[in-house]
């Protein structure tokens, strides 16, 4: 990538997209193209086609998606499947039509089977049943991977797919119902602290283990792979380390400064028992994460306080 190349970041207002834009700017890229959803509905084929014909980007980071936590995934099943398929189909196909030099499709670790061996290797894709609560989202992301591979195979496009682990960081989604577990816990503990509540109740048993990557580290990894990785298929992006939901809650409680009790509602679903990425492929390519979990959550909480006040 040359610093004068035109780079389109789809989903630039989300946590991932905004981190990628910020990282590109730090690297001296000054020809970054973005559009808000009110100006460009990525679900609309005609609008996306017109945008690509007009802008002719050299590189595309496809970070736009309809996302949410376990509750949102389970409730809005049709929306998660339809919206994500539409976004992917339109952006990937228009990138081909307009001869984009390279496209990076960002998926999710939820593409792997619910009971796949741990840690999750890239070759475990499609070897078992998915977690039922987020199956529609996972199916959409798997379709995106396979679509990129198909355009590589049939047309020789340079389209690559990366699968980030659970993410958190600046500009995260703290919606009380539709957020992921880490930002949801930040909000829950903060509000409990403000209200001087005696306890915070968390869904499930607290035993599932999750891996978390700071979004700024993901942006750096995506930029690194955009320069160096040109193989089809997919590549995991993560830390290679995980933590139980219970231990995560204890850590967030400490960072927020909440002094009440943590309770677990065993009648609520746990989701996948464990989701740890095998990142040996990424390490072999020369990249490792930098931000440890406690530091990252401290930074994320400081960012949350800007909107919570």
Task: Read off the pLDDT of each residue in 23-38 and give the average, rounded to a whole number.
Answer: 97
Q: How confident is the model at residue 308 (pLDDT cuts 50, 70, 90)?
A: confident
pLDDT digits (tens, 9 = 90+) for 43-57: 999 999 999 999 999
Task: Please give the pLDDT value at position 70.
Answer: 72
13 marked among binding-site residues: yes
Q: Which residues, at least 6 apart from 42, have a Cβ–Cβ distance to it below 8 Å?
A: 10, 48, 64, 86, 87, 90, 91
Task: Read off the pLDDT of each residue in 4-10 and give the average, rounded to a whole number.
Answer: 98
In this predicted model, which residue has the larger pLDDT, 85 or 115?
Answer: 85
164 marked among binding-site residues: yes
35 marked among binding-site residues: no
Angle at alpha carbon of residue 249, lines to 132 and 141, rounded to 5°: 30
Angle at alpha carbon of residue 104, lines to 98 and 109, rounded to 5°: 145
274 marked among binding-site residues: no
Task: Please give the pLDDT value at position 271.
Answer: 77
In the chain the domains, ranked by start, together with CATH numbers, are 7-172+211-239+276-291 (3.40.50.720)
Range with the poorest average pLDDT among 7-11, 78-82, 106-110, 150-154? 106-110
In this predicted model, which residue has the larger pLDDT, 133 or 102?
Answer: 102
Task: Read off the pLDDT of each residue in 138-154 and give the average, rounded to a whole number.
Answer: 97
Is the pTM here over 0.85, yes or no?
yes
112, 137, 289, 301: the active-site residue: 137
207 marked among binding-site residues: no
Task: Please give the pLDDT value at position 298.
Answer: 98
Q: Is 112 a catalytic residue?
A: no
67 marked among binding-site residues: no
pLDDT digits (tens, 9 = 90+) for 222-281: 999 999 998 878 999 999 999 999 999 999 999 999 999 999 999 998 877 888 999 999
pLDDT digits (tens, 9 = 90+) for 91-132: 999 999 999 999 999 999 889 998 899 999 999 999 999 989
Q: How confident is the model at residue 217 (pLDDT cuts 50, 70, 90)?
A: very high
What whole-number percentage of the chain has pLDDT above 70?
100
Task: Please give the pLDDT value at position 309.
Answer: 65
Task: Please give the pLDDT value at position 231.
Answer: 84
179 marked among binding-site residues: no
Round the average pLDDT of the chain to a whole number and report it: 95
């Amino acid at each position: 990538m040359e610093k004068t190349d035109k780079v389109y970041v789809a989903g630039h207002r989300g946590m991932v997209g905004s981190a990628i834009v910020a990282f590109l700017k730090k690297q001296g890229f000054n020809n970054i193209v973005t559009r808000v959803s009110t100006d460009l509905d990525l679900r609309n084929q005609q609008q996306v086609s017109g945008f690509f014909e007009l802008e002719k980007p050299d590189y595309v980071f496809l970070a736009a998606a309809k996302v949410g936590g376990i509750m949102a995934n389970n409730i809005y099943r049709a929306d998660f499947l339809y919206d994500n398929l539409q976004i992917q189909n339109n952006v990937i196909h228009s990138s081909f039509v307009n001869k984009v030099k390279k496209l990076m499709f960002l998926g999710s670790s939820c593409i792997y089977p619910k009971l796949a061996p741990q840690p999750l290797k890239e070759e475990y894709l499609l070897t078992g049943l998915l977690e039922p609560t987020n199956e529609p989202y996972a199916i959409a992301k798997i379709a995106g991977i396979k679509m990129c591979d198909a355009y590589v195979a049939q047309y020789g496009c340079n389209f690559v797919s990366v699968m980030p682990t659970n993410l958190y960081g600046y500009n995260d989604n703290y919606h009380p119902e539709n957020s992921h577990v880490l930002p949801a816990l930040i909000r829950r503990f903060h509000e409990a602290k403000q209200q001087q509540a005696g306890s915070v109740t968390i869904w499930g048993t607290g035993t599932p283990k999750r891996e978390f990557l700071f979004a700024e580290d993901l942006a750096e990894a995506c930029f690194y792979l955009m320069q160096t990785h040109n193989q089809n298929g997919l590549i995991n992006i993560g830390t290679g380390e995980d933590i139980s939901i219970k231990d995560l809650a204890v850590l967030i409680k400490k960072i927020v400064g909440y002094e009440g009790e943590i309770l677990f509602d065993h009648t609520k679903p746990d989701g996948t028992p464990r989701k740890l990425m095998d990142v040996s492929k990424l390490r072999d390519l020369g990249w490792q994460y930098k931000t440890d979990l406690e530091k990252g959550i401290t930074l994320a909480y400081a960012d949350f306080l800007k909107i919570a006040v």
